[in-house]
Amino acid sequence: MELKRVVVTGLGALTPLGNNVNDYWNSLINGVSGAAPIQSFDATEFKTKFACEIKNFDVHDHIDRKDARKLDQFSQYAIVSSSEAMADSGLDLEKLNLDRCGVIWGSGIGGLKSFQDQCEVYFLGGGASKFNPFFIPKMIVDIAPGHISMKYGFRGPNYATVSACASATNALIDSFNLIRLGKADVIISGGSEAAVNQCGIGGFNALRALSTRNDSPETASRPFDKDREGFVLGEGSGALIIEELEHAKARGAKIYAEIVGGGLTADAHHITAPHPEGLGAKNVMIFALEDANLNPEDVDYINVHGTSTPLGDIAETKAIKEVFGQHAYNLNISSTKSMTGHLLGAAGAIEAIACVKAIQEDIVPPTINHFTDDPEIDNDLNFTFNKAQKRTVNVALSNTFGFGGHNTSVILAKYKG
């Protein structure tokens, strides 16, 4: 069968760098760090006392107070970013076949704060009678796409993808595949996460995954730097309207970019550590390129997973050099996590948006906080250190990898008719 073409026609973002797409993008290209001391709870006793939190955000500006109480923060964030994306897309609900419109959404953890709060009530003496009737619906990951579908009446494919930090990219690739197979016309896709709380910080501290650079939070996320020592936890949401090309053209939609390929692999190696030679990362980029019918030389920009962990950055660099060979030195590479922190299951969504904007505006956002070259990483590669760079971006590849060895790559390209 002939596969249909798939495009992006709407964007929405709620991030530590800005509460809409324009503010987020402007902060990215200006190299702004979203890291600061934690405000949402007292982090005094924790090894890490900072994070990339959303700022100046009041959910009641977007969601009725009564309804907001029934939603965990990760679902609130999902609704807010998807609302921006829907408004941006110009979709008219009265003109859509709602049976062919869906929602596929990623989150690595879901309602962690709701789980924490309910356990606290029970174990501090509330007893079995004090369980909130919305506890389970607030906590489960699939509730976010459920709420979005109910808001817009979308009766097509509706589910959540859960693959740790690869979750949102998984959602985008699933959306891409369903539309190009003719199973849907429009899908709201992306991811959200709200893990900046005691359980989130404490759990990742126990894994020794987080930076503990408490004296300088804004420089703590430093991908590919010799002195990197862990990621910075972030929170937020990103949403993309994924649409079949002819459907978009028929309604005169603005088209941001085309999704042209995706890859999915597993390291099959370790629960948290990457394959030391970057095998899964290498394969997922190869599969994505094959799926897109592109050569390595066609790629202009890679938004890397680049979390600022000692092992992960080395493995991903090895994989890029193996896949792209000499062309690796002609690419722009950057880790926007150096600014946003790591949004876990939402990372792939906001990073795909960064790729879309890079394609649209021919600007590559930087990897900030580079101070010292790491002899184990080839710093002759162009990691776009510290300052954004102008270049024509026709094709961008976005990598996201997750605990459990999950690897995803999605490829976006300039729409050329």
Residue 240 φ/ψ, nearest 5 degrees: -130, 140
Which SS3 state, helix, strand or coil, does residue 236 take?
A: strand
Residues in the chain: 417
Distance of alpha carbon 134 from alpha carbon 109, whole angstroms? 17
Active site (annotated) includes residue 62: no
DSSP class of residue 378 equals -
DSSP 336: T
Is residue 355 part of the annotated active site? The answer reads no
What token pair was written down for 350? 């906001």
Residue 342 among the catalytic residues: yes
Strand partners, 263: 409
Q: Catalytic residue among 275, 305, 370, 406, which?
A: 305
Q: Which of 52, 101, 147, 165 is catalytic?
A: 165
How far is it, in rounded angstroms, from Cα 402 to Cα 162? Answer: 10
Catalytic residue among 247, 342, 370, 406: 342
> What DSSP element (H or E) covers 260?
strand 257-266
Residues 6+ apart with CB under 8 A from 72: 110, 111, 112, 113, 114, 138, 139, 143, 194
Q: Among all residues, which ones are annotated catalytic?
A: 165, 305, 342
